[in-house]
Structure 1
Amino acid sequence: MIDLGYALSRRFPDPPQTDYRTADVYTLRHDLFCGDVYLAEGDRELSTAWGWVPVLDFAWALCDITEQLDRDPMGSRAARPQRAELDFTQSTERLRFERRFGWVDITADWLEDEPPLSVRHSDLRREARDFLHDVLADLVDMHDGLADNPAVWNLRARFPRV
């Protein structure tokens, strides 16, 4: 079972003057809600410890990646690898995803000697969407006006829970 989680940073708080109701997509994805994220399966974990990862952007990008990895018409029968990367914008570090058949291997640039974390694509897709909705629910509870932001409405509609 895949476990996705996050912790918001106290070192990089959101600007106090932020109007979450009208924040644009760029601001929501890159300038707010910084912290750390992790992806675990069993006793293996890929995690950041930098404190500045935009958590909403990570959840959003992970949902995008699961869809990108599912573009081959052969789906889980496709033998040709399908690849995607999640780029952490403030550094050169990346998470790399490679899908072959129904499995996705995930590697982290900052953990070069570690073997890939292997998960079923369908599980990753479901857990990524659940994670996105859980993150949004937490952020909406913490920040007045965020639930009224049109970008949040669109995001929830684009990636419904599976």
Structure 2
Amino acid sequence: MIDLGYALSRRFPDPPQTDYRTADVRALRHDLFCGDVYLAEGERELSTRWGWVPVLDFAWALCAVVEELDRDPRGSRAARPQYAEFDFTESTDRLRFVRRFGHVDVTADWAEDEPPLTVHFAELRREARDFLHDLVADLTDMHDGLDANPAVWELLARYPRV
């Protein structure tokens, strides 16, 4: 079972004057909601401990990564591996994803000596979208007006729960 999670940082709070109703995509993806994220499967975990990762951007990009891994029309029958990466904005570190048949190997630059975390593709797709929707629900509970932001509406419509 895949577990995706986050913790917001107290060291990098959102600017107090932020109007979440009108925040643009750049602010939503890069300037707001900083913290740490993790991806776990069983006893194994890949997590950041930097405190500055934009967690909404991570959820948003993870959904895009999953879609990129599914670009071959043969899906899980494709013999050729599918590759995708997530680049952390303020770092040279990346998460790398390799899909082979119905499984995805996930590796992190900061954990090079660790074996890949292997997850089922369908489960990764479902959990990534659930994580996005749950995160947005949490953030809208904490930040007035975020649920009225058109960019957030578009994001949730683009990646509906599976």
Structure-2-length-normalised TM-score: 0.99
1:50 alignment counterpart: 50
1:94 alignment counterpart: 94
- Classify the secondary structure of the residue corresponding to 1:45: strand
Aligned pairs (5 A) from 1:23-42? 23-42=23-42
Q: 1:11 offset after TM fit, Å?
A: 0.2
- Unpaired segments ≥5 residues, structure 1: none
1:62 alignment counterpart: 62
Distance in 2 separating the partners of 1:79 and 1:97: 16
- Cα deviations across residues 23-72 of structure 1 (Å, max 9, x unaligned)? 00010000000000000000000000000000000000000000110010
Q: 1:90 offset after TM fit, Å?
A: 0.2
Aligned pairs (5 A) from 1:135-146? 135-146=135-146
Distance in 1 separating the partners of 2:63 and 2:108: 17
Number of equivalences: 162
Q: 1:105 offset after TM fit, Å?
A: 0.3
Distance in 1 separating the partners of 2:127 and 2:79: 24
**Counterpart residue type for residue 83 of structure 1:** Y
Query: Percent sequence identity over matched residues?
Result: 81
2:64 aligned with 1:79, yes or no?
no
**Counterpart residue type for residue 135 of structure 2:** V
**Root mean square deviation of aligned Cα:** 0.4
Structure-1-length-normalised TM-score: 0.99
1:17 alignment counterpart: 17
**Counterpart residue type for residue 48 of structure 1:** T
Q: 1:93 offset after TM fit, Å?
A: 0.3
Q: 1:18 offset after TM fit, Å?
A: 0.4
Distance in 1 separating the partners of 2:128 and 2:28: 18
Q: 1:79 offset after TM fit, Å?
A: 1.1
2:110 alignment counterpart: 110
Distance in 2 separating the partners of 1:5 and 1:73: 30
Distance in 2 separating the partners of 1:25 and 1:79: 36
1:148 alignment counterpart: 148
Q: 1:140 offset after TM fit, Å?
A: 0.2
